[in-house]
Structure 1
Amino acid sequence: MSVVCVQNIGQNGNQLFPTILACITACIHNLNVKHFTNQLVKFKIPKQYDFVYDKVIHTNNPLHNSNKNMNIVMKRTYYQNCNIFNPFRNKIKNEILDLPSVVPNKTDIVIHLRLDGFNHKGYNSHIIHPSWYINILENETFDKLYIVMATKSGRIKHKQEPHKKIYLEHFSKFNHEIISQNEYDDFNFIRKFDKIISSNSTFSWWAAFCSDASIIYLPPYWESRMTKLSTIGDVSKIIRDSYVYVNIETMEKVPITFQ
Protein backbone atom coordinates (compact mmCIF):
# COMPACT_ATOMS: atom_id res chain seq x y z
CA MET A 1 0.00 0.00 0.00
CA SER A 2 1.36 3.39 -0.93
CA VAL A 3 0.76 6.98 -1.93
CA VAL A 4 2.42 8.30 -5.08
CA CYS A 5 2.59 11.75 -6.63
CA VAL A 6 4.05 13.54 -9.63
CA GLN A 7 7.19 15.24 -8.32
CA ASN A 8 8.47 16.72 -11.59
CA ILE A 9 6.24 19.79 -11.63
CA GLY A 10 8.08 23.11 -11.88
CA GLN A 11 11.22 23.98 -9.94
CA ASN A 12 12.30 22.89 -6.48
CA GLY A 13 9.89 25.11 -4.55
CA ASN A 14 6.95 23.94 -6.66
CA GLN A 15 7.94 20.31 -6.21
CA LEU A 16 7.76 20.56 -2.42
CA PHE A 17 3.97 20.94 -2.46
CA PRO A 18 3.04 17.53 -3.94
CA THR A 19 5.93 15.68 -2.30
CA ILE A 20 5.31 17.04 1.19
CA LEU A 21 1.58 16.44 0.76
CA ALA A 22 2.34 12.83 -0.20
CA CYS A 23 4.39 12.47 2.99
CA ILE A 24 1.58 13.94 5.12
CA THR A 25 -0.85 11.55 3.45
CA ALA A 26 1.44 8.62 4.22
CA CYS A 27 1.53 9.61 7.89
CA ILE A 28 -2.22 10.12 8.16
CA HIS A 29 -3.29 6.98 6.30
CA ASN A 30 -0.37 4.67 7.24
CA LEU A 31 0.93 4.30 3.69
CA ASN A 32 4.34 3.79 2.18
CA VAL A 33 5.81 6.77 0.35
CA LYS A 34 8.97 7.37 -1.64
CA HIS A 35 11.99 8.88 0.13
CA PHE A 36 11.99 12.11 -1.88
CA THR A 37 14.98 14.32 -2.66
CA ASN A 38 14.98 18.06 -3.29
CA GLN A 39 17.75 20.64 -3.59
CA LEU A 40 16.15 22.89 -0.97
CA VAL A 41 15.55 20.40 1.84
CA LYS A 42 16.31 16.89 3.00
CA PHE A 43 13.51 14.47 3.81
CA LYS A 44 13.57 12.09 6.74
CA ILE A 45 13.34 8.41 5.84
CA PRO A 46 9.62 7.57 5.92
CA LYS A 47 8.12 4.72 7.92
CA GLN A 48 7.47 1.54 5.94
CA TYR A 49 4.47 -0.80 6.21
CA ASP A 50 4.13 -4.40 5.03
CA PHE A 51 0.38 -4.88 4.68
CA VAL A 52 -1.38 -4.73 1.31
CA TYR A 53 -4.37 -2.83 -0.09
CA ASP A 54 -5.98 -3.86 -3.36
CA LYS A 55 -8.07 -0.77 -4.00
CA VAL A 56 -6.56 2.30 -5.73
CA ILE A 57 -7.99 5.81 -5.83
CA HIS A 58 -6.87 8.71 -8.04
CA THR A 59 -7.52 11.97 -6.23
CA ASN A 60 -6.48 15.59 -5.70
CA ASN A 61 -7.68 15.38 -2.07
CA PRO A 62 -5.48 12.62 -0.65
CA LEU A 63 -6.01 13.57 3.00
CA HIS A 64 -9.75 12.90 2.96
CA ASN A 65 -10.93 10.26 5.42
CA SER A 66 -12.67 8.35 2.63
CA ASN A 67 -9.23 7.42 1.26
CA LYS A 68 -8.32 5.19 4.20
CA ASN A 69 -7.34 1.56 3.57
CA MET A 70 -6.48 2.02 -0.09
CA ASN A 71 -3.58 2.99 -2.33
CA ILE A 72 -3.58 6.65 -3.33
CA VAL A 73 -2.43 8.13 -6.62
CA MET A 74 -2.32 11.92 -6.37
CA LYS A 75 -3.46 13.67 -9.52
CA ARG A 76 -0.91 15.90 -11.27
CA THR A 77 -1.46 19.43 -9.99
CA TYR A 78 0.47 22.05 -8.02
CA TYR A 79 -1.34 21.80 -4.62
CA GLN A 80 -0.26 25.38 -3.81
CA ASN A 81 -2.80 26.08 -1.11
CA CYS A 82 -1.64 27.13 2.35
CA ASN A 83 -4.82 25.71 3.92
CA ILE A 84 -3.56 22.21 3.11
CA PHE A 85 -0.19 22.64 4.81
CA ASN A 86 -0.70 25.05 7.72
CA PRO A 87 -2.49 22.49 9.96
CA PHE A 88 0.55 20.22 9.58
CA ARG A 89 3.28 22.86 9.91
CA ASN A 90 4.90 21.35 13.00
CA LYS A 91 4.72 17.83 11.57
CA ILE A 92 6.34 19.01 8.34
CA LYS A 93 9.15 20.82 10.15
CA ASN A 94 9.83 18.15 12.75
CA GLU A 95 8.75 14.76 11.36
CA ILE A 96 8.81 14.96 7.56
CA LEU A 97 11.73 17.26 6.76
CA ASP A 98 15.24 16.92 8.16
CA LEU A 99 15.94 20.61 8.66
CA PRO A 100 19.37 21.67 9.93
CA SER A 101 19.60 23.71 13.10
CA VAL A 102 20.15 27.42 12.53
CA VAL A 103 21.27 30.20 14.87
CA PRO A 104 18.30 32.61 15.24
CA ASN A 105 18.79 36.20 14.10
CA LYS A 106 16.43 38.49 16.01
CA THR A 107 18.04 41.84 15.27
CA ASP A 108 18.14 41.97 11.46
CA ILE A 109 15.65 41.43 8.62
CA VAL A 110 15.83 39.39 5.42
CA ILE A 111 14.07 39.77 2.09
CA HIS A 112 14.06 37.38 -0.83
CA LEU A 113 14.09 38.78 -4.37
CA ARG A 114 12.92 36.70 -7.32
CA LEU A 115 14.15 38.47 -10.46
CA ASP A 116 15.36 35.74 -12.83
CA GLY A 117 12.75 34.18 -15.06
CA PHE A 118 9.96 36.46 -13.86
CA ASN A 119 10.17 39.37 -16.30
CA HIS A 120 8.60 37.28 -19.11
CA LYS A 121 7.84 39.75 -21.95
CA GLY A 122 8.01 42.82 -19.76
CA TYR A 123 4.39 43.88 -19.92
CA ASN A 124 3.41 40.70 -18.07
CA SER A 125 6.29 40.70 -15.59
CA HIS A 126 5.83 39.13 -12.16
CA ILE A 127 8.81 40.87 -10.59
CA ILE A 128 7.65 42.80 -7.54
CA HIS A 129 8.44 46.51 -7.72
CA PRO A 130 11.05 47.48 -5.07
CA SER A 131 8.61 50.01 -3.58
CA TRP A 132 6.65 47.10 -2.04
CA TYR A 133 9.68 45.89 -0.10
CA ILE A 134 10.75 49.42 0.82
CA ASN A 135 7.30 50.24 2.19
CA ILE A 136 7.63 47.30 4.58
CA LEU A 137 11.22 48.12 5.53
CA GLU A 138 10.36 51.73 6.34
CA ASN A 139 7.75 50.51 8.82
CA GLU A 140 10.01 47.94 10.48
CA THR A 141 12.86 48.17 12.98
CA PHE A 142 16.10 46.29 12.33
CA ASP A 143 19.86 46.71 12.40
CA LYS A 144 20.81 45.29 9.02
CA LEU A 145 19.02 44.22 5.86
CA TYR A 146 20.00 40.98 4.13
CA ILE A 147 18.87 40.46 0.53
CA VAL A 148 18.81 36.87 -0.67
CA MET A 149 18.72 36.45 -4.45
CA ALA A 150 20.11 34.30 -7.23
CA THR A 151 23.10 35.84 -9.01
CA LYS A 152 24.45 32.79 -10.83
CA SER A 153 21.79 32.05 -13.42
CA GLY A 154 23.76 31.88 -16.66
CA ARG A 155 21.98 33.24 -19.72
CA ILE A 156 19.38 35.21 -17.75
CA LYS A 157 22.05 36.63 -15.47
CA HIS A 158 24.06 38.08 -18.34
CA LYS A 159 20.99 39.59 -20.00
CA GLN A 160 19.55 41.16 -16.85
CA GLU A 161 22.72 42.06 -14.96
CA PRO A 162 22.61 45.83 -15.75
CA HIS A 163 18.91 45.96 -14.88
CA LYS A 164 19.45 44.11 -11.60
CA LYS A 165 21.97 46.76 -10.53
CA ILE A 166 19.43 49.50 -11.14
CA TYR A 167 16.78 47.52 -9.27
CA LEU A 168 19.07 47.01 -6.27
CA GLU A 169 19.97 50.71 -6.12
CA HIS A 170 16.53 51.29 -4.62
CA PHE A 171 17.81 49.61 -1.43
CA SER A 172 20.98 51.71 -1.20
CA LYS A 173 19.70 53.79 1.73
CA PHE A 174 19.60 50.68 3.92
CA ASN A 175 22.58 49.00 5.53
CA HIS A 176 22.34 45.86 3.42
CA GLU A 177 24.25 42.82 2.21
CA ILE A 178 23.53 40.56 -0.77
CA ILE A 179 23.48 36.83 -0.03
CA SER A 180 23.75 34.44 -2.97
CA GLN A 181 25.02 30.95 -2.26
CA ASN A 182 23.59 27.64 -3.44
CA GLU A 183 19.84 27.04 -3.10
CA TYR A 184 20.14 24.84 -0.02
CA ASP A 185 22.27 27.34 1.91
CA ASP A 186 20.16 30.34 0.83
CA PHE A 187 17.02 28.49 1.93
CA ASN A 188 18.42 27.84 5.40
CA PHE A 189 19.91 31.32 5.64
CA ILE A 190 16.38 32.76 5.34
CA ARG A 191 15.09 30.30 7.94
CA LYS A 192 17.17 31.77 10.74
CA PHE A 193 15.55 35.22 10.69
CA ASP A 194 12.84 36.40 13.08
CA LYS A 195 11.60 38.89 10.45
CA ILE A 196 11.16 37.69 6.87
CA ILE A 197 9.83 39.47 3.79
CA SER A 198 8.87 36.86 1.22
CA SER A 199 8.82 37.39 -2.51
CA ASN A 200 6.16 35.78 -4.72
CA SER A 201 8.39 32.72 -5.06
CA THR A 202 7.58 29.25 -3.73
CA PHE A 203 11.25 28.95 -2.72
CA SER A 204 10.78 31.97 -0.48
CA TRP A 205 7.41 30.79 0.85
CA TRP A 206 8.78 27.41 1.90
CA ALA A 207 11.87 28.96 3.54
CA ALA A 208 9.58 31.21 5.59
CA PHE A 209 7.21 28.30 6.33
CA CYS A 210 10.13 26.25 7.66
CA SER A 211 11.39 29.08 9.86
CA ASP A 212 10.54 30.10 13.42
CA ALA A 213 10.01 33.74 12.45
CA SER A 214 7.64 35.84 14.55
CA ILE A 215 6.59 37.96 11.54
CA ILE A 216 6.47 36.96 7.88
CA TYR A 217 5.39 39.48 5.26
CA LEU A 218 3.67 37.93 2.25
CA PRO A 219 2.55 39.33 -1.12
CA PRO A 220 -1.18 39.39 -1.92
CA TYR A 221 -0.80 37.80 -5.38
CA TRP A 222 1.31 35.09 -6.95
CA GLU A 223 2.19 34.10 -10.48
CA SER A 224 -0.85 31.84 -10.85
CA ARG A 225 -4.39 32.89 -10.03
CA MET A 226 -4.88 29.42 -8.53
CA THR A 227 -2.04 29.83 -6.01
CA LYS A 228 -3.32 30.42 -2.47
CA LEU A 229 -0.31 31.13 -0.27
CA SER A 230 -1.52 34.06 1.79
CA THR A 231 -0.93 32.55 5.23
CA ILE A 232 1.85 30.87 7.18
CA GLY A 233 0.75 29.79 10.64
CA ASP A 234 -0.41 32.74 12.73
CA VAL A 235 2.66 34.90 12.09
CA SER A 236 2.13 36.09 8.52
CA LYS A 237 0.85 39.41 7.27
CA ILE A 238 -0.31 40.24 3.75
CA ILE A 239 0.87 43.64 2.54
CA ARG A 240 -1.22 45.11 -0.28
CA ASP A 241 0.12 48.68 -0.17
CA SER A 242 2.52 49.47 -3.02
CA TYR A 243 2.14 45.99 -4.49
CA VAL A 244 2.69 46.19 -8.22
CA TYR A 245 4.94 44.51 -10.76
CA VAL A 246 7.80 46.06 -12.70
CA ASN A 247 9.39 45.53 -16.09
CA ILE A 248 12.98 45.23 -14.91
CA GLU A 249 14.34 46.29 -18.31
CA THR A 250 12.60 49.68 -18.15
CA MET A 251 11.75 49.91 -14.41
CA GLU A 252 8.22 50.86 -15.45
CA LYS A 253 5.36 49.61 -13.31
CA VAL A 254 3.07 47.08 -14.96
CA PRO A 255 -0.38 45.89 -13.86
CA ILE A 256 -1.07 42.67 -11.97
CA THR A 257 -1.51 39.75 -14.35
CA PHE A 258 -1.52 35.98 -13.94
CA GLN A 259 0.07 33.13 -15.87
Structure 2
Amino acid sequence: MAAYGEEGGEPRYAFHHLPQKSFPVLESRDTRDRLLKWSMDGRIAAQAFSFDQNFKGYQRDDFIMAFFNHPDVNSNLKLISPSGQWTTLDTSVRKIDVKNILCKQVSMSFFDRLYCKGVVRESGSIVKCFDEYHDDILIADELRKVLLLEDSDHYDLFSHLDREEFLFCLFKHLCLGGALCQYEDELGPYLETTKALYKELVSVQKDPETKEIKIISTIFKVCAYDAHGLCYPSSNIHEQNFAYLIVNPLKRHIYVLYHSFGEACFYN
Protein backbone atom coordinates (compact mmCIF):
# COMPACT_ATOMS: atom_id res chain seq x y z
CA MET A 1 0.00 0.00 0.00
CA ALA A 2 1.40 3.37 -0.98
CA ALA A 3 -0.80 5.35 1.44
CA TYR A 4 1.35 8.39 1.92
CA GLY A 5 4.65 6.63 2.45
CA GLU A 6 7.29 6.16 -0.21
CA GLU A 7 7.43 3.16 -2.48
CA GLY A 8 9.96 2.38 -5.16
CA GLY A 9 11.64 5.73 -4.71
CA GLU A 10 8.44 7.67 -5.43
CA PRO A 11 7.91 10.82 -3.34
CA ARG A 12 5.24 11.12 -0.69
CA TYR A 13 1.99 12.85 -1.47
CA ALA A 14 0.99 15.76 0.73
CA PHE A 15 -2.54 17.17 0.56
CA HIS A 16 -4.00 20.38 1.93
CA HIS A 17 -7.59 21.41 2.42
CA LEU A 18 -8.46 24.66 0.62
CA PRO A 19 -11.40 26.05 2.64
CA GLN A 20 -11.14 29.42 0.91
CA LYS A 21 -12.09 27.89 -2.45
CA SER A 22 -15.77 28.58 -3.13
CA PHE A 23 -18.14 26.99 -5.62
CA PRO A 24 -20.46 29.86 -6.63
CA VAL A 25 -22.83 27.69 -8.66
CA LEU A 26 -23.77 25.58 -5.64
CA GLU A 27 -24.13 28.71 -3.53
CA SER A 28 -26.25 30.73 -5.97
CA ARG A 29 -29.90 31.41 -5.19
CA ASP A 30 -31.16 29.82 -8.42
CA THR A 31 -29.21 26.59 -7.85
CA ARG A 32 -30.11 26.39 -4.17
CA ASP A 33 -33.80 26.79 -5.03
CA ARG A 34 -33.57 23.99 -7.57
CA LEU A 35 -31.60 21.70 -5.26
CA LEU A 36 -34.18 22.32 -2.55
CA LYS A 37 -36.95 21.32 -4.95
CA TRP A 38 -34.95 18.23 -5.97
CA SER A 39 -34.35 17.27 -2.32
CA MET A 40 -30.57 17.66 -2.68
CA ASP A 41 -30.01 20.97 -0.90
CA GLY A 42 -28.12 20.39 2.33
CA ARG A 43 -27.04 16.94 1.16
CA ILE A 44 -24.61 17.93 -1.58
CA ALA A 45 -21.20 19.55 -1.11
CA ALA A 46 -18.09 20.49 -3.07
CA GLN A 47 -14.64 20.87 -1.50
CA ALA A 48 -11.16 21.63 -2.77
CA PHE A 49 -7.78 20.20 -1.84
CA SER A 50 -4.29 20.68 -3.23
CA PHE A 51 -1.45 18.18 -3.65
CA ASP A 52 2.27 18.71 -3.99
CA GLN A 53 3.56 16.07 -6.43
CA ASN A 54 2.89 15.39 -10.10
CA PHE A 55 -0.13 13.18 -10.62
CA LYS A 56 0.53 10.08 -12.71
CA GLY A 57 -2.34 7.98 -13.94
CA TYR A 58 -0.65 4.66 -13.27
CA GLN A 59 -0.36 5.64 -9.58
CA ARG A 60 -4.11 6.25 -9.36
CA ASP A 61 -4.93 3.89 -6.49
CA ASP A 62 -1.88 4.84 -4.42
CA PHE A 63 -2.70 8.51 -4.96
CA ILE A 64 -6.33 8.14 -3.87
CA MET A 65 -5.49 5.93 -0.89
CA ALA A 66 -2.96 8.54 0.18
CA PHE A 67 -5.60 11.22 -0.28
CA PHE A 68 -8.12 9.58 2.05
CA ASN A 69 -5.54 8.81 4.74
CA HIS A 70 -3.75 12.13 4.76
CA PRO A 71 -4.54 13.91 8.07
CA ASP A 72 -5.61 17.17 6.43
CA VAL A 73 -8.07 15.31 4.20
CA ASN A 74 -9.24 12.81 6.79
CA SER A 75 -10.16 15.54 9.25
CA ASN A 76 -11.82 17.85 6.70
CA LEU A 77 -13.54 15.64 4.10
CA LYS A 78 -17.28 16.09 4.60
CA LEU A 79 -19.91 13.38 4.64
CA ILE A 80 -23.36 12.86 6.12
CA SER A 81 -23.59 10.47 9.05
CA PRO A 82 -26.30 7.78 9.32
CA SER A 83 -28.15 10.14 11.69
CA GLY A 84 -28.30 12.78 8.94
CA GLN A 85 -25.72 15.20 10.34
CA TRP A 86 -22.71 16.59 8.49
CA THR A 87 -19.45 15.25 9.87
CA THR A 88 -15.95 14.45 8.60
CA LEU A 89 -14.35 11.17 7.54
CA ASP A 90 -12.04 10.77 10.58
CA THR A 91 -11.28 7.09 10.06
CA SER A 92 -8.45 5.00 8.68
CA VAL A 93 -9.26 3.92 5.14
CA ARG A 94 -8.14 0.37 4.41
CA LYS A 95 -9.59 -0.22 0.96
CA ILE A 96 -10.86 1.82 -1.96
CA ASP A 97 -12.96 1.23 -5.05
CA VAL A 98 -12.08 3.61 -7.88
CA LYS A 99 -13.75 3.98 -11.25
CA ASN A 100 -12.34 6.15 -14.03
CA ILE A 101 -15.05 8.42 -15.44
CA LEU A 102 -14.79 9.66 -19.02
CA CYS A 103 -14.62 13.42 -19.46
CA LYS A 104 -14.47 14.43 -23.11
CA GLN A 105 -17.70 16.33 -23.74
CA VAL A 106 -17.41 20.08 -24.25
CA SER A 107 -20.91 20.84 -25.56
CA MET A 108 -24.43 20.50 -24.19
CA SER A 109 -25.51 19.38 -27.67
CA PHE A 110 -24.70 15.95 -26.19
CA PHE A 111 -28.28 15.99 -24.85
CA ASP A 112 -30.02 17.06 -28.08
CA ARG A 113 -30.98 13.44 -28.73
CA LEU A 114 -33.47 13.64 -25.86
CA TYR A 115 -35.69 15.80 -28.06
CA CYS A 116 -37.33 12.84 -29.73
CA LYS A 117 -40.80 11.37 -29.87
CA GLY A 118 -41.71 9.92 -26.52
CA VAL A 119 -39.08 11.52 -24.23
CA VAL A 120 -38.93 15.33 -24.47
CA ARG A 121 -41.19 17.36 -26.72
CA GLU A 122 -39.83 20.15 -28.95
CA SER A 123 -41.22 22.62 -26.43
CA GLY A 124 -38.92 21.16 -23.79
CA SER A 125 -41.68 19.48 -21.77
CA ILE A 126 -40.90 15.99 -20.50
CA VAL A 127 -43.29 13.18 -21.43
CA LYS A 128 -44.99 11.64 -18.39
CA CYS A 129 -45.59 7.94 -17.72
CA PHE A 130 -47.27 5.73 -15.13
CA ASP A 131 -45.49 5.81 -11.77
CA GLU A 132 -43.09 3.04 -10.81
CA TYR A 133 -40.15 2.76 -8.43
CA HIS A 134 -36.53 1.80 -8.98
CA ASP A 135 -34.25 1.62 -5.91
CA ASP A 136 -36.46 4.04 -3.92
CA ILE A 137 -36.52 6.47 -6.87
CA LEU A 138 -39.88 7.39 -8.34
CA ILE A 139 -40.01 7.09 -12.11
CA ALA A 140 -42.83 9.35 -13.25
CA ASP A 141 -41.69 10.29 -16.76
CA GLU A 142 -39.88 8.97 -19.82
CA LEU A 143 -36.67 10.89 -19.04
CA ARG A 144 -36.09 8.91 -15.85
CA LYS A 145 -36.84 5.72 -17.78
CA VAL A 146 -34.04 6.60 -20.21
CA LEU A 147 -31.71 7.25 -17.29
CA LEU A 148 -32.51 4.16 -15.22
CA LEU A 149 -34.31 1.36 -17.03
CA GLU A 150 -32.44 -0.75 -19.56
CA ASP A 151 -35.72 -2.06 -20.93
CA SER A 152 -36.89 1.47 -21.73
CA ASP A 153 -37.89 1.99 -25.35
CA HIS A 154 -35.39 4.85 -25.56
CA TYR A 155 -32.55 3.56 -23.37
CA ASP A 156 -30.30 3.20 -26.41
CA LEU A 157 -30.37 6.95 -27.05
CA PHE A 158 -27.17 6.90 -24.98
CA SER A 159 -24.54 4.23 -25.48
CA HIS A 160 -22.62 2.58 -22.66
CA LEU A 161 -19.71 4.96 -23.26
CA ASP A 162 -22.05 7.96 -23.32
CA ARG A 163 -23.28 6.93 -19.89
CA GLU A 164 -19.70 6.82 -18.60
CA GLU A 165 -19.22 10.52 -19.37
CA PHE A 166 -19.02 12.85 -16.38
CA LEU A 167 -21.44 15.24 -18.10
CA PHE A 168 -24.02 12.45 -18.31
CA CYS A 169 -23.36 11.40 -14.70
CA LEU A 170 -23.96 14.94 -13.42
CA PHE A 171 -27.14 15.28 -15.47
CA LYS A 172 -28.45 11.93 -14.27
CA HIS A 173 -27.74 12.72 -10.61
CA LEU A 174 -29.52 16.07 -10.83
CA CYS A 175 -32.52 14.56 -12.62
CA LEU A 176 -32.92 11.77 -10.05
CA GLY A 177 -32.50 14.02 -7.02
CA GLY A 178 -33.09 13.06 -3.40
CA ALA A 179 -35.68 11.13 -1.44
CA LEU A 180 -38.39 13.79 -1.64
CA CYS A 181 -37.56 15.06 -5.13
CA GLN A 182 -40.14 17.24 -6.86
CA TYR A 183 -39.38 16.57 -10.51
CA GLU A 184 -39.33 19.21 -13.22
CA ASP A 185 -41.89 19.26 -16.00
CA GLU A 186 -39.36 20.92 -18.33
CA LEU A 187 -35.87 19.78 -19.35
CA GLY A 188 -34.37 23.27 -19.16
CA PRO A 189 -33.58 23.51 -15.42
CA TYR A 190 -31.74 20.19 -15.48
CA LEU A 191 -29.63 21.22 -18.49
CA GLU A 192 -28.86 24.67 -17.09
CA THR A 193 -27.75 23.36 -13.71
CA THR A 194 -25.71 20.54 -15.25
CA LYS A 195 -23.91 22.97 -17.55
CA ALA A 196 -23.10 25.43 -14.76
CA LEU A 197 -21.83 22.76 -12.39
CA TYR A 198 -19.80 20.97 -15.08
CA LYS A 199 -18.17 24.25 -16.11
CA GLU A 200 -17.25 25.01 -12.51
CA LEU A 201 -15.76 21.61 -11.72
CA VAL A 202 -13.97 20.70 -14.96
CA SER A 203 -10.83 22.47 -16.17
CA VAL A 204 -10.09 23.09 -19.85
CA GLN A 205 -7.39 24.63 -21.98
CA LYS A 206 -7.17 25.67 -25.63
CA ASP A 207 -4.83 23.79 -27.93
CA PRO A 208 -2.44 26.49 -29.24
CA GLU A 209 -2.32 24.90 -32.70
CA THR A 210 -5.83 23.63 -33.36
CA LYS A 211 -7.55 26.19 -31.08
CA GLU A 212 -9.77 23.36 -29.86
CA ILE A 213 -10.94 23.32 -26.27
CA LYS A 214 -9.64 20.25 -24.45
CA ILE A 215 -10.50 19.00 -21.00
CA ILE A 216 -7.49 18.48 -18.75
CA SER A 217 -9.31 17.20 -15.65
CA THR A 218 -9.27 13.53 -14.69
CA ILE A 219 -12.38 12.21 -12.94
CA PHE A 220 -12.70 9.33 -10.49
CA LYS A 221 -15.78 7.97 -8.78
CA VAL A 222 -14.70 6.66 -5.40
CA CYS A 223 -15.80 4.55 -2.45
CA ALA A 224 -13.76 4.00 0.70
CA TYR A 225 -13.81 1.27 3.36
CA ASP A 226 -12.55 1.26 6.91
CA ALA A 227 -12.29 -1.61 9.44
CA HIS A 228 -16.10 -1.76 9.67
CA GLY A 229 -16.82 -1.76 5.93
CA LEU A 230 -18.05 0.86 3.49
CA CYS A 231 -17.67 4.30 5.08
CA TYR A 232 -17.61 6.83 2.21
CA PRO A 233 -19.58 8.36 0.59
CA SER A 234 -22.06 6.44 2.77
CA SER A 235 -22.34 3.13 4.57
CA ASN A 236 -25.17 2.30 2.15
CA ILE A 237 -24.92 1.66 -1.57
CA HIS A 238 -27.41 3.70 -3.58
CA GLU A 239 -27.56 5.20 -7.06
CA GLN A 240 -27.55 8.68 -5.53
CA ASN A 241 -24.81 8.19 -2.93
CA PHE A 242 -21.76 9.41 -4.79
CA ALA A 243 -18.36 11.06 -4.51
CA TYR A 244 -16.28 12.21 -7.47
CA LEU A 245 -12.69 13.38 -7.34
CA ILE A 246 -11.96 15.87 -10.12
CA VAL A 247 -8.20 16.16 -10.48
CA ASN A 248 -6.54 19.13 -12.19
CA PRO A 249 -2.97 17.92 -12.81
CA LEU A 250 -1.68 21.37 -13.81
CA LYS A 251 -2.88 23.33 -10.79
CA ARG A 252 -2.51 20.23 -8.60
CA HIS A 253 -6.02 20.66 -7.26
CA ILE A 254 -8.66 18.07 -6.38
CA TYR A 255 -12.32 19.04 -6.30
CA VAL A 256 -14.62 16.65 -4.44
CA LEU A 257 -18.30 16.51 -5.38
CA TYR A 258 -20.32 14.62 -2.79
CA HIS A 259 -23.98 13.72 -2.30
CA SER A 260 -25.88 11.47 0.11
CA PHE A 261 -29.37 10.29 -0.81
CA GLY A 262 -32.09 11.11 1.69
CA GLU A 263 -34.49 13.75 2.86
CA ALA A 264 -33.33 17.35 3.01
CA CYS A 265 -31.00 18.31 5.83
CA PHE A 266 -29.05 21.45 6.48
CA TYR A 267 -25.57 22.48 7.49
CA ASN A 268 -24.94 23.15 11.14
Scaled to the shorter chain, the TM-score interval is under 0.3
- Greater RCO between the two (CA within 8 Å, min separation 6)? 2
